[in-house]
Amino acid sequence: MAAVTLGPEGTYSHRATTAVADDGEIDFRQSVTAIVDAVDSGEYDRGVIPIENSIEGSVTESLDALAEYDVAVVREIVTPIRHALLAQGPEFDTVASHSQALAQCRSYLEREYPDATLEAVASTAQGVEFARDDPSVAGIGHPANAEDGVDLEVLAEDIQDQDSNATRFFAIAPAAERSTGGGKTSLVVYPNANYPGLLLELLEPFADRDINLTRVESRPSGQRLGDYVFHVDFEAGLYESRTQAAIADLEELAEKGWVKRLGSYDTEHVVE
């Protein structure tokens, strides 16, 4: 089974992918959108993308790509994220990492390196590569990245602002592989409407059927200011009759827009 995720080798996405596709080939892309595109086109059977972090919140590029492309979510992977600061030595003036990782270490960086320039790059592992090439750059990433070559020191470990830092990833597949099992479901709803009580009406189909929502997130539709797409996750299988009834209600509400079924899945906790 060929899988694709955020590269280069050594990203947290790569680690999460190994947990679900350890017997197959893993290829890398430089952005979440490129990963979703490669799975949507059938080039890969699996992709792994970050969705949400306990400190920094949604990975908005992932939510937008899930709304735009037609792929199935087949698994959820939750993994603790413990960042290290890696450099050739203590004399650096720039810290390069993924924007999520820089944000997860914001207090640490302000306290310890208030004068450093923060540079957002495609992934944590790419930041570490820059540090390997340039003594004026430090990277933030998994400490094991220091072992993959010469000349990198682990200057500090566990620099994330909360000990309990964790990221949720989705394993995605081509849309035809949408699973029929799994205890959690994700939908994307675009009502294409704006009137008092709309959000309440969107949530009622779940409350009425005793379905527990685990996340509601709004993203701009891109059509006009104040117009939103809603990402909804809940604890019920897609093919349960109460879910089908709730979706039928939502489709009526979103008659001018659409309801996208991303799929049902189980959660896997990966501890490193």
Ligand X SMILES: O=C(O)C(=O)C[C@]1(C(=O)O)C=C[C@@H](O)C=C1
Q: Which residues of this chain interact with ligand X, rule CB under 6 A?
A: 6, 11-13, 50, 53, 59, 81, 98, 100-101, 123-125, 167
Q: Which long-range contacts (CB under 8 A, 24 or more apart) does 27-32 make?
A: 27/2, 27/3, 28/4, 29/4, 29/5, 30/6, 30/122, 30/123, 30/126, 31/6, 31/61, 31/122, 32/6, 32/59, 32/61, 32/62, 32/65
**CA geometry: angle 210, 211, 214, nearest 5 deg:** 135
CA 206 to chain centre: 24
What's the min distance (Å) between Cβ of 53 and ligand X? 5
User: How many CB atoms are closer than 10 A to CB 96?
Assistant: 25
DSSP letter at 211 equals P
Nearest to 169 by CA among 32, 37, 71, 67: 32
Q: Is the peptide bond before 8 cis (omega within 30 degrees of 0)?
A: yes
Give the three-state DSSP class for 81: coil
